[in-house]
């Protein structure tokens, strides 16, 4: 069961803002919030009135990662619970790439572990100047497992290994230099700048945006020849949705 206010939903024009709302836990991802996020992203993607999504965190932090208080129930003695939670987390991180509509993340504060994974899972990311991001799992004797695949794809092997092995947090400027985010802005301007970017995305025709995003994620993981073939097919289909 999800708590009704654990994820806040607000529409501003064609932009849907999803705000993780566990500020007392730094928006740590328990099962309820993870499920609410997955449902919220899917609902936004299915809505005809939504053209772009903004993901934000309430309070001073973006997302602290997994809620450690649930770990006592996620042990080898409860294999079904472990399997279900791992599957849910995987589906959440996969949802961003599967959506037809673009997602912009507004990183207002610390984004750690699974929270860092969410922060960079969006198609674009705007980061407050005072915010930090990192993958501290090894410092707790665990592995940044589910978030590693996307991290390697986005920043390359050397940067990614540094992040997941040392577990050191990056400043906003370091995150920008690593290619983790698109913009670093003053804290007070975070939401206005994020909304500006999201509103620009809503001005793009829906068929063009959908095809662009789908092809983008396909070619990122394909050998060059196969990627060019996918591009060729999209190029031919493009004639059907070009403006007259």
Give the active site residues.
Answer: 137
Beta-carbon contacts of residue 156 (< 8 Å; ≥ 6 apart): 179
What values do phi and psi take at 204, rounded to 5?
Answer: -80, 140
CA atoms within 13 A on the CB side of 242: 7
Q: Which burial class, exposed, middle or buried, applies to 242 when counting CB atoms under 10 A from its CB (0-12, 13-18, 19+)?
A: exposed
Neighbours of 82 (CB within 10 A): 14
H/E element, 131: none
Give the dihedral sign, CA 162/164/167/173. Answer: positive
Pairwise CA distance, residues 122 & 106, whole Å: 10
15-20 and 52-57 beta bridge pairing: parallel
DSSP state of 196: H
- Residues belonging to the chain: 244
């Amino acid at each position: 069961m999800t708590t009704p206010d654990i994820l806040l939903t607000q529409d501003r024009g064609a932009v849907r803002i999803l705000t993780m709302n566990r500020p007392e836990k730094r928006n740590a991802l328990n099962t309820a919030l993870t499920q609410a996020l997955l449902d919220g992203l899917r609902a936004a993607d299915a809505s005809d009135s939504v053209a772009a999504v903004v993901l934000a965190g309430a309070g001073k932090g973006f997302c602290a990662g997994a809620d450690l208080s649930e770990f006592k129930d996620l042990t080898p003695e409860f294999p079904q619970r472990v399997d279900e939670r791992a599957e849910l987390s995987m589906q959440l991180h996969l949802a961003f790439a599967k959506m037809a509509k673009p997602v912009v993340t507004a990183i207002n504060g610390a984004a750690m572990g699974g929270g860092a994974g969410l922060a960079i899972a969006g198609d674009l990311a705007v980061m407050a100047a005072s915010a930090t991001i990192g993958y501290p799992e090894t410092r707790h004797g665990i592995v940044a497992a589910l978030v590693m695949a996307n991290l390697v794809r986005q920043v390359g092997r050397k940067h990614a290994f540094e992040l997941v092995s040392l577990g050191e947090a990056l400043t906003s400027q370091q995150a920008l230099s690593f290619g983790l985010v698109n913009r670093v802005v003053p804290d007070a301007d975070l939401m206005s700048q994020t909304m500006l970017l999201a509103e620009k995305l809503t001005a793009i025709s829906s068929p063009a945006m959908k095809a662009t995003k789908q092809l983008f994620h396909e070619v990122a993981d394909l050998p060059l020849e196969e990627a060019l073939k996918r591009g060729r097919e999209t190029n031919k289909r493009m004639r059907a949705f070009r403006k007259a």
